[in-house]
Structure 1
């Protein structure tokens, strides 16, 4: 349930018959519940309604120099109407209204949208730039089902461990620093404010308590969830602030209110730019992370313009612009040659698959265990949400 508040710097089967002419709905190869992927595209409908994270659909209103919406409108004739969402839960709710054509969903929302039938499978052949998406982002548990893609990958990043080098004198290389050793920094630990953060505790327990048998931090049976919750309750005693607004985390680290906790690479970069003595590391256990996916509504009224947007937003130049403005690794491998900063992809590990092999991307917890277990029931997102409320008290 990522909440992003950016500054100016970065700040369907039921209607298929109606869309046959405009979008060439498929012939029934895909899940009826989630609609059909079109076989071909027709003329643009003149508009597209988008749900996006702040910084993903910039039109120059935040910064006149940051605008990839108006060039899209000029090229395609599709007027963009953007609804900026603050959380994944908000995105899921908005998609259920049927008023939006596409959404930049994170992994803690994608499976919910697929399971509810609110997102349709996509025909990747109708998105020419899909061929240049990093292979490791395709056919993942959080953006596909039964071998079909349910969206186009947008970008990715890891949730890192950041600390003030003047307050944490022994450089940490493990999440133990914010879990079992959190009391050392009593009142100055910070953690991400979302039920999906339970996966961070589960990831640590995979190595710290192997007897629990956790194989996937998003596939927890009740006993495993209880263990993660117990660890988070222990951590809670040392937490000074749970963050979701990146600017607040920068301020907290700069002022010393926070000295150690989870972060994003872009936050670390900006905090350093504020002259705060911080360092961010990918701990030895690996990390959780996020990979966003542009999904198409099963009830899309403007499917042709939606597909045009999907291809546009992951085209090399535009994908590079978004990645730099937002602070993430682009999904299109050709985008690395288009970034204004020549070292952007190196900083964000865009082409370093060994790095991302250590990142467990956010995936919606569901009853069917994602680790392949057939003899157990796993806890779902609703249970995680209740557990998170319990953790925070």
Structure 2
């Protein structure tokens, strides 16, 4: 009887492990999975489990913008990095540049748990084939120091208040132009004419005196808050999470109808040296453990039913993972046809 009970327990343990590890040989000991990612997506708190179970180390490089991520990934001809956590503004660029391979979803045991509306999403599916797997998403939010900003902001207009001259920060990213376009009431913030861009430029020039610094990483932005250099910022939820855990007086708001955001996908390099390990990593991040790890570190929303179960009903509801209603309200980053004009405008503003 005892042997049968022990056997049953062992079978159960192996079944749980199979929830994220594909049924194929473990990676060779000493292998390295190279990745270029947004901050927090390979945090040791959950990456360690993957490394222990596969014997493969994850070596990640953080990028501060999609342009930086794309440039570094392309520089090595897709050989420097096995995998990339691409947002919707560069997924198509990676595909058109021939840098990424189609995803064989049959190699992912947890792919069926990806929210149905995220399977075949327009942000990572090209020519009828999936080139990426969605694993996280979220809005760009307004973050503020509650001791310095007494009343809860109601709109992005507060960034223009002369009372905060030299006290705000914006992301050093041309995609911020889309946010300004929304503030100006443009219906499609990613389809801007030359006249639209001129209007955006004028608005940014008016805002320029209030900008202390353009931030590149969430950690850098958190330091700007903690040093007292800034009190307001256009930010990722990650900065709010970091400062909250540090006991800093911080809060965030998401002005309705005026939000941009990102739906992030894992994409595998066409010339990856470790494609099978890349598939194992993706499967792990889709699992309950992987999703919970990403969510706890970043404060972003997950993309799978396994993730929703892992964080619990209440937390899943807070992150809109139970109905995805917030996702439909966010103007998600996407490819921009006249992006060279956006880059030129942005360089003029930040200089």
Relative to the length of structure 1, the TM-score reads 0.73
Residue 86, structure 1, aligned to residue 63, structure 2: yes
Alignment correspondent of 1:55: 40
1:42: Cα distance to partner?
8.2
1:205-284 map, 5 Å = 205-206=184-185, 214-284=186-256
When the two structures are aligned, how many residues end up with a matched partner? 322
Deviations 1:295-340 (A, max 9, x none): 022223433333233222212222222321333222212113224x
1:33-48 map, 5 Å = 46=28, 47=31
In 2 relative to 1, CA 362–125 (structure 1 residues): closer, same or farther, beyond 3 Å?
Answer: same
Residue 388, structure 1, aligned to residue 346, structure 2: yes
Which region of structure 1 is more displaced relative to structure 2, 277-286 or 344-353? 344-353
Contact 2:241-2:298 at 8 Å conserved across structures: no
1:302-341 map, 5 Å = 302-339=274-311
1:108: Cα distance to partner?
3.0
Alignment correspondent of 1:192: 171
1:300-379 map, 5 Å = 300-339=272-311, 343-365=314-336, 367=337, 379=338
In 2 relative to 1, CA 299–254 (structure 1 residues): closer, same or farther, beyond 3 Å?
Answer: closer
1:350: Cα distance to partner?
3.0
Query: How many Å separate the matches in 1 of 2:155 and 2:172?
Result: 20
Contact 1:324-1:344 at 8 Å conserved across structures: no
Contact 2:50-2:281 at 8 Å conserved across structures: no
Query: How many Å separate the matches in 2 of 1:196 and 1:165?
Result: 27
Contact 1:175-1:283 at 8 Å conserved across structures: yes
Deviations 1:63-87 (A, max 9, x none): 6x8613323414xxxx345241324
Contact 2:47-2:58 at 8 Å conserved across structures: no
Contact 1:143-1:149 at 8 Å conserved across structures: yes
Residue 290, structure 1, aligned to residue 291, structure 2: no
Where do 5+ consecutive residues of structure 2 fail to align? 1-22
Which region of structure 1 is more displaced relative to structure 2, 251-260 or 356-365? 251-260
Alignment correspondent of 2:112: 131
CA RMSD in angstroms, aligned pairs only: 2.7
Query: How many Å separate the matches in 1 of 2:214 and 2:83?
Result: 30
Relative to the length of structure 2, the TM-score reads 0.81
In 2 relative to 1, CA 81–171 (structure 1 residues): closer, same or farther, beyond 3 Å?
Answer: closer
In 2 relative to 1, CA 177–80 (structure 1 residues): closer, same or farther, beyond 3 Å?
Answer: same
Contact 2:241-2:299 at 8 Å conserved across structures: no
Which region of structure 1 is more displaced relative to structure 2, 119-128 or 47-56? 47-56
Contact 1:330-1:336 at 8 Å conserved across structures: yes
Query: How many Å separate the matches in 2 of 1:135 and 1:229?
Result: 39
Alignment correspondent of 1:95: 73
